[in-house]
Amino acid sequence: MYYLKTEQCFDAAHFLQGYDGKCHNLHGHRWRVVVEIKADTLQEGRQCRGMVIDFSELKHVLKDICDYFDHSFIFEKNSLRPLTLAALRAEDFCLREVPFRPTAEEFSRYIYETIQAKGYDLSRVDVYETPNNCASYGG
Ligand SMILES: Nc1nc2c(c(=O)[nH]1)N=C([C@H](O)[C@H](O)COP(=O)(O)OP(=O)(O)OP(=O)(O)O)CN2
Ligand SMILES: [Zn+2]
């Protein structure tokens, strides 16, 4: 089996609703995302001969996802009061609503499923919230 890895980072703010501790507060991270795909054969042909896929292609798939969240405020659906949300929107901040609690675990599954839906055979996605804390999702 062959394995290919690529990584990207994004900076964003979030908070964990209902969390009893400092992560209840609005705070930021530099999220580091490592994606690994697998294949049991390599491509034939000309451009991609001897490759699982071109690193450049995989890089762009992940970069598109990370760019969407970069320099945004990521919040869980229904976790902000309507007035708060309206005020943030009025400031024209980059807001990204997600249908899950924005933990490293949920992001690893979300990114896995988003890339899988594009037809890639993933083995795992690692999401680092800090250099020391990482959550992974695997098939
Ligand atoms: N299993 C998980 N636990 C926690 C998550 C998570 O996504 N999955 N997230 C958080 C908070 O987002 C928090 O920001 C994480 O950082 P923190 O606990 O502050 O970790 P540090 O290593 O930076 O701790 P320091 O004490 O500040 O050094 C909480 N838990
Ligand atoms: Zn956090």
Mean pLDDT of all residues in the chain?
97
C-alpha–C-alpha distance, residues 45 and 72, integer Å: 41
Give all domains of the chain, ordered by start, each with its CATH number: 2-138 (3.30.479.10)
Locate 16 and state its tokens. 């964990």
Catalytic member of 23, 36, 94, 97: 23
State the pLDDT at residue 34.
Answer: 98
54-89 per-residue burial string, b: 16 or more CB within 10 A, e: under 16? eeeebeebbeebbeebbebbbbbeebbeeeeeeeee
60 classed as catalytic: no
In the block, residue with structure tokens 């690994």: 36
48 classed as catalytic: no
pTM exceeds 0.90 for this model: yes
71 classed as catalytic: yes
ipTM: 0.91
Question: 97 alpha carbon to ligand 1 midpoint, in Å?
Answer: 20
pLDDT digits (tens, 9 = 90+) for 29-71: 999 999 999 999 999 989 999 999 999 999 999 999 999 999 9
